[in-house]
Amino acid sequence: MPVYTLPELPYDYSALAPVISPEIIELHHDKHHAAYVKGANDTLEQLAEARDKESWGAVNGLEKNLAFHLSGHILHSIYWQNMTGDGGGEPLAADGVGELADAIAESFGSFAGFKAQLSKAAATTQGSGWGVLAYEPLSGRLIVEQVYDHQGNVGQGATPILVFDAWEHAFYLQYRNQKVDFIEAMWAVVNWQDVARRYAAAKSRTDVLLLAP
Ligand code: MN
């Protein structure tokens, strides 16, 4: 039994068009995301084998692979849920996502400031990476992270609640080298209901990091 499994898309391949083409969604989910799931499962097996044989020569590389594939699986699982063909705009109290709207305003000064920061963080990734909105439990604030690959440059303990994939496979077939245009278009498919749900859940499980001695 594999530990990790590929989640089904919550919509069909064409649901996010014209922002993201069906061809990109199909390849991205069925090939790229699937490869991270397989990679995480394979690496866990290789680590089990290393323990059985007490053969630790490859442990450094295996731990790196685990971080890469597992983080890829987690971020993509969030990514699909973060998007909807009925999305976009900004979170509003009238839509039942007022707590998220308030948290963004408190943490970034304004929605416009937050949007600009996340857009820039995603668009200026060097090589492969992500722009991520995360809940940081020590401060109780939202922060933006610019993630390298899937796992680098993150603050420990922060929970991603809105993720923009800035790897070339996320946009190149449609946007070619215009990463800035892709990131700008992404805002039209953000599912604020899903982001708000993740914000509430992240806030409610902070005690694990705040344990008193
Ligand atoms: Mn991706």
- Alpha-carbon gap, residue 194 to 174, rounded angstroms: 26
At 1-47, the pLDDT tens digits run 789 999 999 999 999 999 999 999 999 999 999 999 999 999 999 99
Per-residue confidence (pLDDT) for residue 5, from 0 to 100: 98
What is the whole-number distance in angstroms between the Cα of residue 213 and the centre of ligand 1?
Answer: 39
What is the whole-number distance in angstroms between the Cα of residue 85 and the centre of ligand 1?
Answer: 19
- pTM score of the predicted model: 0.96
pLDDT-based confidence at residue 207 (cuts at 50, 70, 90): low
Instruction: For residue 62, give the H/E element and its range.
Output: helix 59-82
Q: Domain 22-81, what fold?
A: Helix Hairpins (1.10.287)
123: exposed, middle or buried (Cβ count in 10 Å: 0-12, 13-18, 19+) = middle
Query: CB within 8 A of 193, min separation 6: which ones?
Result: 95, 96, 97
Chain-centroid distance of CA 200 in Å reads 17
What is the whole-number distance in angstroms between the Cα of residue 125 and the centre of ligand 1?
Answer: 13
Architecture field, domain 93-210: 3-Layer(bab) Sandwich (3.55)
Cβ proximity of 123 and 179 under 8 Å: yes
What is the whole-number distance in angstroms between the Cα of residue 45 and the centre of ligand 1?
Answer: 24
At 169-190, the pLDDT tens digits run 999 999 999 999 999 999 999 9
What is the whole-number distance in angstroms between the Cα of residue 149 and the centre of ligand 1?
Answer: 9
- Domain spans, the chain: 22-81, 93-210
What is the whole-number distance in angstroms between the Cα of residue 165 and the centre of ligand 1?
Answer: 6
